[in-house]
Chain A
Amino acid sequence: GDSVTQMEGPVTLSEEAFLTINCTYTATGYPSLFWYVQYPGEGLQLLLKATKADDKGSNKGFEATYRKETTSFHLEKGSVQVSDSAVYFCALSALGQGQGAQKLVFGQGTRLTINP
């Protein structure tokens, strides 16, 4: 079945460092890909998305490019801030049961801590 694999955490960086969180996927067809962020005690917020190969999603300085040839969707940011500390989830859209049904398949999450 469809699956998402993220780099294991936790990841600890200093402020202004470069960030990469790896994400690879296995899927039938051509799924949409997502990065969600979760701050402590809260629900998930969509960070960025890409719907087809070579698309680049971007938001708040974060970027990820949909690479079909390597089945990857790595998250990057050039200069992280303390406020970026959170758990990041990579996800793909997959077919569910029922006509037109969609569901998301999530990776296990990567906890990021940024030190001042």
Chain B
Amino acid sequence: DGGITQSPKYLFRKEGQNVTLSCEQNLNHDAMYWYRQDPGQGLRLIYYSQIVNDFQKGDIAEGYSVSREKKESFPLTVTSAQKNPTAFYLCASSIGGGVGEQFFGPGTRLTVL
């Protein structure tokens, strides 16, 4: 079945450590996205990528980094510079080329202790 995989579902890290969240899709989608969700709030865009080896900052990119070396993979690194990293992180993909609909993964809940 085609879809988006995020791993792990729950992640715990100590303060000051970098952590990388995985996102893989087998939908053959060109575009991929990372969002952050905090309790009672909507989704905020962190980074997005329209094609391999290219990505753009979203609304809250500070303290995060990404790479897009393969079409199917878009890992997100939460660095120690992110002041409040505890949140639910969602990865999404879309066909691209101006098509708006996005497909979401199940999410990773990151807790920084």
Whether the Cβ atoms of B100 and A106 lie closer than 8 Å is no
Contact digits for B25-61, partner A, Cβ 8 Å, 1 yes 0 no: 0000001010000001111010010100010101000
Whether the Cβ atoms of A101 and B48 lie closer than 8 Å is yes
Question: Contact check: which of B6, B33, B104, B107 meets A103 at CB < 8 Å?
Answer: B33
The stretch that binds B, out of A12-20, A41-49, A59-67, A71-79, is: A41-49
- Chain B residue contacts of A103, Cβ below 8 A: 33, 45, 48, 58
Classify the secondary structure of B's interface with A.
strand
Question: Contact check: which of B6, B48, B98, B103 meets A100 at CB < 8 Å?
Answer: B98
Whether the Cβ atoms of A104 and B100 lie closer than 8 Å is yes
Contact digits for A3-34, partner B, Cβ 8 Å, 1 yes 0 no: 01000000000000000000000000001101
Number of A-B contacts (CB under 8 A): 72
Contacts A34-B101, A43-B90, A44-B90 given; indicate if A102 touches B107 (C-beta within 8 A): no
- Chain B residue contacts of A107, Cβ below 8 A: 42
Query: Closest CB-CB distance, B5 to chain A, in whole Å?
Result: 11
Q: In the complex, which residue of chain A has the Cβ closest to the Cβ of B96?
A: A100
Question: Contact check: which of B41, B42, B56, B90 meets A101 at CB < 8 Å?
Answer: B56
CA distance A101 to B97 in the complex (A): 7
Q: How many residues of A contact B (CB 8 A)?
A: 28
Contact surface of B with A, Cβ cutoff 8 Å: 4, 6, 31, 33, 40-43, 45, 48, 50, 54, 56, 58, 90, 92, 94, 96-107
- Chain B residue contacts of A97, Cβ below 8 A: 56
Residue A58 CB within 8 A of the other chain: no
A–B complex contacts, Cβ < 8 Å, 22 sampled: A34-B100, A43-B92, A43-B106, A43-B107, A44-B90, A44-B104, A49-B100, A89-B43, A98-B50, A98-B54, A100-B97, A101-B48, A103-B33, A103-B48, A103-B58, A104-B43, A104-B102, A106-B42, A106-B43, A108-B40, A109-B40, A109-B41
Whether the Cβ atoms of A42 and B107 lie closer than 8 Å is yes
Query: Closest CB-CB distance, B37 to chain A, in whole Å?
Result: 9
Q: In the complex, which residue of chain A has the Cβ closest to the Cβ of B107?
A: A43
